[in-house]
Structure 1
Amino acid sequence: MPALSQLVALEQEHLRRPADVYAQLRELGVHYAPEVDAFVVARHDDVVHVLRERHTFSSRNTVGRELPPADPSNPSAPLSPLLLLSDDPEHGKRRSIVNRAFTPMRIASWEPQVRRVAAEHVDRLRGLREVDLVRDLAALLPVRVISLVLGVPQQDVARFRAWSEEITRSVGNHGGDPVRREQVQDEFTGYLGRLLDRWDGQVDSSVLSQIAAAERAGELTRRECVRFVAELLVAGNITTTHHLASSVALLASRPELWDRLRAERALVRSFVEESLRLEAPIQGFYRLATADTEIGGVAVPEGSRVFVLYGSANRDDEAWDACPHLKLDRRGAASHLAFGKGAHACIGSSLARLEGRVVVEELLDRVESLELTVPVDELPYGASFINHGPVSVPARLEFRAAAPRSTPRQAPTGG
């Protein structure tokens, strides 16, 4: 069976460890793969080329297919992403509406609240006989944090989490129950509309206030506001959950790494970057060639689909020294492609990094030891070759005698 077929077939072995498949794809170079009906781009330099050439490679089909134009008269149409599937100049205009809410400086100001939420969730694990680090931690924290940043009342977080999971399943109308999808969208649209209608005219640090202002200024329709918030909610919840799950799985499976980070806390930032590089929560996206072009010396005709593998680029030994290994002293560790690159680089990368760092630090503060209760090669992964992360991480935690009082740490100066 061809290498990519094993991954597309969603075999657990390859979802868990896609590195061998990626190595074969890099060896093949750019080539057309019928399994995904696209030219596969797996080498680091070729991936960077495609991501930078945004005029030649459109984002209209990022999720795997080019969706029809949004019909404002059809309230039942799927809530397709607003930023992810747009090209400039629309993409730049839409992104500018919320850009200032996601700058590294703005995100740094959220650290005390993120740390308080993380400490609360870690403390809840104390005394539990059975802990699943996804169910009991990684799947809970991101939606609370993105809700804070969006400006959603915290009492509604549980509903937001349920909506984000439902919307993720229906993006692009990829299967699922259409009746349930329509019901969820109606609930989400109605709830969000009520929040937007309450806007008092003040633009503050919350994303919702900035989106409401853009609607009043005629820059966004109400339907576009809903799509925008749905996209930020899904990105801030699902992908960050996968990032946190992969990080805690790495820590729980490698006691020597846990011990080193406990001894050298300054290395936590490096660990987060290496976790993102090796276990990118988004392994790849699609692009659409808008003209006859070449990638890596291979002709790609206009109209061709291109499958751009971030996960493979992050494991290319032509780009990374000692690539398969997690190196806490890696130079340029943050230049990985887990968040993409160029105009479509993830707007929430600083927030994801902050959450990853804070969760690890709070665990190190409170937990004496951490270990898996199942072999690492048996951890189940989500059934997707795009979204990547374990869906369950059973573990045993030995807490310190008493929870320490939270002490403020210096806010980060960058992403």
Structure 2
Amino acid sequence: MGNNNPSLSRLSLISRHIGSQPHQLSANYAQSFSQIQNRRLSTSQSINMSSQPEHPALLIPGPIEFDDAVLQSMSHFSESHVGPGFVSTFGDTISMLRKLFQTTDSSAQPFVISGSGTLGWDLVAANLVEPGEDVLVLSTGYFGDGFADCFKTYGANVDQLTGPIGGRPQLSEIEKALKSKRYKLVTVTHVDTSTGVLSELEKLSETVKSVSPDTLLIVDGVCSVACEEIAFDAWKLDGVVTASQKAIGCPAGLSISMFSGKAIEAFKARKTPPGSYFASMKNWMPIMQNYEAKKPSYFATPSPQLIHALHTALTQILAKPIAERFAKHREISDKIKKAVSDLGLKQVAEKLEDQAHGMTAVYLPETVKATDLLPKLAKSGVIFAGGIHKAIAPKYVRFGHMGVSVTDPARNDIDKAIKALTAGLADCGYQKA
């Protein structure tokens, strides 16, 4: 039977043409495609038209709202993960991460591996600590506790300093612990999304390096990278692990991390093999180094589409001075926290210096249940998250304010959310005293 569908006919012609070219698409062709796509994306952005279907504004502590250009990057045609076009994109992406983390140290090593932020914990626990070694975990909530569990899985001896709910361990406590035992490393959750508590890194690093200079300082930056300041070199950090779906503004599926030369040397000095195969730095380090040098390499298959999305997200972030991005997140955070206070509500993180700038955890009035409020917010076109800290879970909600919801002036996500929160509380019968 003949084919009278012109679209299918064109597709057939394209398929035959591709089939007659068994070699890989050239880097030039891939680059041309990317340039054409970027011109289309910039055109669509310039007239403030979103290609996304209408949907509630996702204002949870991750995943966050994504820019059109980032999402459209994922529609890139299928390509080989060792082809010249993808190798070039991945290499540039790894190099851009150095700028995001603010490091110029050539001995520092970035990693981009398929997985969630939790994979970063495994990278640290499987490679930088050997069974029986001592680790100090500074916990400000649910995710600090989770990091401690990860270390125990790999056989480390774990001591934990836990701050009060809504607070963090103090430097005097940390200094005392460091003097009591020789720790292989200290970990801190920069922003724990269960409480909205922000941990201070610069003075913590000074304390660790002063009291125990051989101890590595590792940061869980899943909910802080790209919205909270992280000066990797200046603050002498040894590792920061994060993920794609939070303030970086890329769909979930990538574990992203940076480790210092000191951390890499500690890995190389191991007496036993890493406790993981997939999360082994031995397996991944040459892959990352080759890609950054624009050389094809293989250990496990990456996601080209997610890497393209990350490349676009990082390009957007680095188009302006990174300090401006941090300042904008602080500005919007202050606006939200003032609105919360004006409503007569309190934050889980009570002290100003303990409050994150990419999210806010808000205690509800005693007369309002999260299970009543959250559906009302959703009907108003806003999605908040419920509480997850086991001691206070029913008593609070979490408002995420990161990425394009903060930085894109064409959006009204934040004002919409404040308005919805005000109306939702009133619908639940709440009146400020």
Normalised TM-score (structure 1) = 0.29
Normalised TM-score (structure 2) = 0.28
> Which has the higher relative contact order, 1 or 2, with Cα contacts under 8 A spaced 6 or more apart?
1
Say which structure is richer in helix. 1
Say which structure is richer in strand. 2
Larger Rg: 2
